[in-house]
A and B are shown apart, each in its own frame.
Chain A
Amino acid sequence: MNEGMVSADDGATHGDLERSVSAPPDQADVDRTLSHEEFDPKGTLALILVYFAILVGMWVFMYFVEFLGNGLTVVG
């Protein structure tokens, strides 16, 4: 874990002063600035594809196993 990074922006190294302020006071202490062109959210894509797979799997399970497998289907 990138300990230094995390705590620097986390306020912890700002000492007591920053203890209770949520979020860094400004964004000056970011490592680098990324513009829209330089940034491809591939981590987001990966996460959301995992979510998609879970949704599809759970839907199929719930509909075809839990629901259609349940007794007394209403047919009229």
Chain B
Amino acid sequence: MHIHQYEKLWLGLSLLLIVGFVATVTYGAVGTPAISMIGDDGDTLNPNAIDDHPEFGDPGVEKVGESEYAAYVVARQFMFQPDPIVVPANTTVTFYVTSADVIHGFSVVGTNANTMVIPGEVAELTVEINDPGEYGIVCHEYCGNGHHGMEGLLKVVPADEYDGGDAE
């Protein structure tokens, strides 16, 4: 098969580009901090039985370690519970997000914290939250004709102002 010199050069460069992309993504996954993907570690559960679930039955934020918090969030047509989600600054927060009905999205606006929310699955994502402030939360997957109203708030308060409980 006859291939022109320039084509061979371009083939080589293309492969280099591809390997370069894969290498960058791998670097992101193993560098510091190592970016982890939403995976399959979360439990599965029956969306109709959410109200009886030990955590999702009364969604909210819990302290689980020295400076570690777990935020249980339920997405349902057309709101997030709890709203707002209140966490102290300078902590590591793991969000456990599930849906009571259809597929939703959960995205902390202007950040990389972003996941799909699928009924039956629990999305698990851990982030380090430093400065106090407020972030919007949007549902970014179409979930019915009230989808555009589905939003929430994440409040990061200074540690000394945090009252330690569900903010519902």
Q: Do these two chains interact?
A: yes
A residues within 8 Å of B by Cβ? 40-42, 44-45, 48-49, 52, 55-56, 59, 63, 67-68, 70-76
Chain B residues whose CB sits within 8 angstroms of the CB of A48 once the complex forms: 10
Q: Chain A contacts of B126 at CB under 8 A? A: 74-76
Contact with A along B31-55 (1 / 0, CB 8 A): 0011111100000000000000000
Write out the residue numbers on chain A whose beta carbons fall within 8 Å of the beta carbon of B10: 45, 48
Interchain CA distance A56-B17 in the complex, whole Å: 8
Q: A70-B112, A71-B112, A73-B127 are in contact. Are A56 and B20 (CB under 8 A)?
A: yes
Q: Tally the A-B contacts, defined by beta carbons under 8 Å.
A: 64
A73 touches B17 (CB 8 A): no
Contact in complex: B6, A59 (CB < 8 Å): no
Known: A71-B112, A74-B35. A45 touches B6 (CB 8 A): yes
What are the residues of chain B within 8 A of A59 when measuring CB–CB? 20-21, 24
Quick check: is B28 within 8 A (CB to CB) of the other chain? Answer: yes
Which of B9, B20, B112, B124 contacts A73 (CB under 8 A)? B112
Which chain A residue shows the least CB distance to B94? A76
Say whether B33 contacts A73, CB under 8 Å: yes
Whether a CB of chain A sits under 8 angstroms from the CB of B145 is: no
Q: A52-B13, A56-B20, A59-B24 are in contact. Are A75 and B6 (CB under 8 A)?
A: no
21 A-B Cβ contacts within 8 A?
A: A40-B4, A42-B6, A45-B10, A49-B13, A55-B17, A56-B17, A56-B20, A59-B21, A70-B111, A72-B108, A72-B127, A74-B36, A74-B38, A74-B112, A74-B127, A75-B34, A75-B35, A75-B36, A75-B126, A75-B128, A76-B36
Complexed CA–CA distance, A74 and B126 (Å): 6
Q: Which of A41, A44, A52, A76 gathers most chain B CB within 10 Å?
A: A76
Chain A residues whose C-beta falls within 8 Å of the C-beta of B24 in the assembled complex? 59, 63
